[in-house]
Structure 1
């Protein structure tokens, strides 16, 4: 028996219930992990509200770090005592869990469990955004929405190391400071300024090679106005609601590219996941990318954590300790 957060019906933060659940032995291909830290991400809200439908009851959360307690039949490459981190299937909001071992990566000793739990989903997302959705080159101008958020701060750091000119939109002066400290060359207060007009001004009318947008409805279609001809709009989140259906003709005048990638499509292949994780671990271990864990809360307080997340009252990453 372990403690876990369970959702019996979708809805607001109040549906997150802290309760006892049975934990069976790991099945074929599975590893059982005692979790030292659990990551918190906006995708957790999508599952809780039903935007991403899943049968109830379920335990939310797609990211964590801890040590292997046991492995099921057929598992190779992992053994009890191994330090691991993952981004994968639902079930992270728990003291311990079983997970398909294909989602696991060996966590280097120099990276803490808290950092490991905070970095996998956001860091692997940044990896596929910068290296696979639109491959950022030195000299590129890019726009990062929600630049002081968990993914945003990683994007600012990593893109700057790649030689990009980074513009970030933020909601306050304090968040602008965080984004600049992370590497943003310019910041835009989206509540006070027309961000597309400011992008045109900042770039001298040249506009951006790519826009990375985890906000969704509120930043579309303004994001398209920020792109130069043949630019790429990468929509990877819906913090303000999903992008509404639109006429593809909007893309035609500048021959724009639009993509809606998913981390889970990229990490479905275990070899590709390990390749992505290796690049992320190298960037973090070298200090090129720092993972800002700005809040640590008990797992039992998951409802309060979700309220802060939805209220855009968080910066960087929040982790919960089971």
Structure 2
């Protein structure tokens, strides 16, 4: 199947290394499926792959989530058939394309009522929030009324987390880099929002919690927030570092955890998506909370596939809020 289009790059670098190329897409092999994309999700992890922070064989593609229609299934694929409307968050990278052959393990049917743009925008981010709020929990668990701190609360993951936390009865304290982004987090369900460009978030968390601290910090920022985030935790609290948009955290002196007997974890989505059954169970919970209206997926920006480089410029410059998609 020649004449398909895909974003490819041959060397690590800035957005300028991304090129739109004609590619041939063949038939799916055992355990594989061919999908024609109607929308492709954009995530900060794509920047890490482009920069080489997360190495991959080159030349290669980008993109970890998408939504579209199944065109063909390979031998051994029992849960999908041609014509199914589907979405996925999956490795290997390669979702920035008009069509692809890929492993079927992480591909799930989209329920009626969830369109392709929403599906493409929500899978990686929504499943990330699912494993954080539902599976990455402090020793005491989380109960309604508990405070949690969530950095980058106005981003794609953050806005889903604000809504889902509210649905669970949690008091989410979100941080963001401007007053406008703080207002956006509040509008999506955050109980409190801290503009870290103007406020000391440690002092504000202490004020909000009456000096008790939060049970858990969910941190995708990394280097710029890590040590101060530890100061926000109550005794036996959990530091969940799930990204590093400001850069990797330097080697950690675990003695920092001793004062309050803190827990530290570095979870990843694909550790949780270890099987088709686990993927389906997590997706079912995401579909339920979206289908109920408790969580709405904010698709704020749409780009043509050929404009992937501009999408990356906007993402790295923090000009985006909510979710963005590429449209083949």
TM-score norm. by structure 2 comes to 0.97
SS at match of 2:118: helix
SS at match of 2:158: helix
For residue 149 of structure 1, report the CA deviation from its aligned partner.
0.3
Q: Bigger CA drift: 130-139 or 78-87?
A: 130-139
Cα distance in 2 for partners of 1:263, 1:92 equals 17
Q: Number of aligned residue pairs: give it.
A: 322
Matched, 1:6 2:12: no
Q: Name 1:101's counterpart in structure 2.
A: 104
Cα distance in 1 for partners of 2:231, 2:312 equals 32
Q: Name 1:288's counterpart in structure 2.
A: 294
Cα distance in 1 for partners of 2:81, 2:226 equals 47
Matched, 1:206 2:212: yes
For residue 138 of structure 1, report the CA deviation from its aligned partner.
1.0
Q: Name 1:117's counterpart in structure 2.
A: 120
Q: Contact conserved, 1:40 with 1:61, CA < 8 A, in 2?
A: yes
Q: Name 2:131's counterpart in structure 1.
A: 128
Cα distance in 1 for partners of 2:266, 2:149 equals 16
SS at match of 1:4: strand
For residue 309 of structure 1, report the CA deviation from its aligned partner.
0.4
Cα distance in 2 for partners of 1:257, 1:80 equals 46
Aligned partner (choices 122, 140, 143) of residue 146 of structure 2: 140
SS at match of 2:111: coil
SS at match of 1:273: helix
Matched, 1:66 2:72: no
Aligned partner (choices 88, 91, 112) of residue 90 of structure 2: 88
For residue 312 of structure 1, report the CA deviation from its aligned partner.
0.8
Q: Name 1:24's counterpart in structure 2.
A: 26
Matched, 1:33 2:35: yes
1:18-60 per-position Cα deviation (integer Å, ceiling 9, x unaligned): 0111111111110000000000000000000000000101111
Aligned partner (choices 301, 311, 319) of residue 313 of structure 1: 319
Cα distance in 2 for partners of 1:287, 1:147 equals 19
Q: Name 2:226's counterpart in structure 1.
A: 220
SS at match of 1:154: helix
SS at match of 1:217: coil
Aligned partner (choices 175, 180, 183) of residue 189 of structure 2: 183
For residue 268 of structure 1, report the CA deviation from its aligned partner.
2.0
SS at match of 1:127: helix
Q: Name 1:194's counterpart in structure 2.
A: 200
Task: In structure 2, list runs of 5 or more residues that go unmatched.
Answer: none
Matched, 1:304 2:326: no
SS at match of 1:287: coil
RMSD: 0.7
Cα distance in 2 for partners of 1:105, 1:173 equals 38
1:110-130 per-position Cα deviation (integer Å, ceiling 9, x unaligned): 001000000000000000000
TM-score norm. by structure 1 comes to 0.99
Q: Name 1:57's counterpart in structure 2.
A: 59
For residue 243 of structure 1, report the CA deviation from its aligned partner.
1.1
Q: Name 2:269's counterpart in structure 1.
A: 263
Cα distance in 2 for partners of 1:212, 1:312 equals 19
Q: Contact conserved, 1:136 with 1:162, CA < 8 A, in 2?
A: no
Cα distance in 2 for partners of 1:182, 1:258 equals 28
Cα distance in 2 for partners of 1:257, 1:154 equals 25
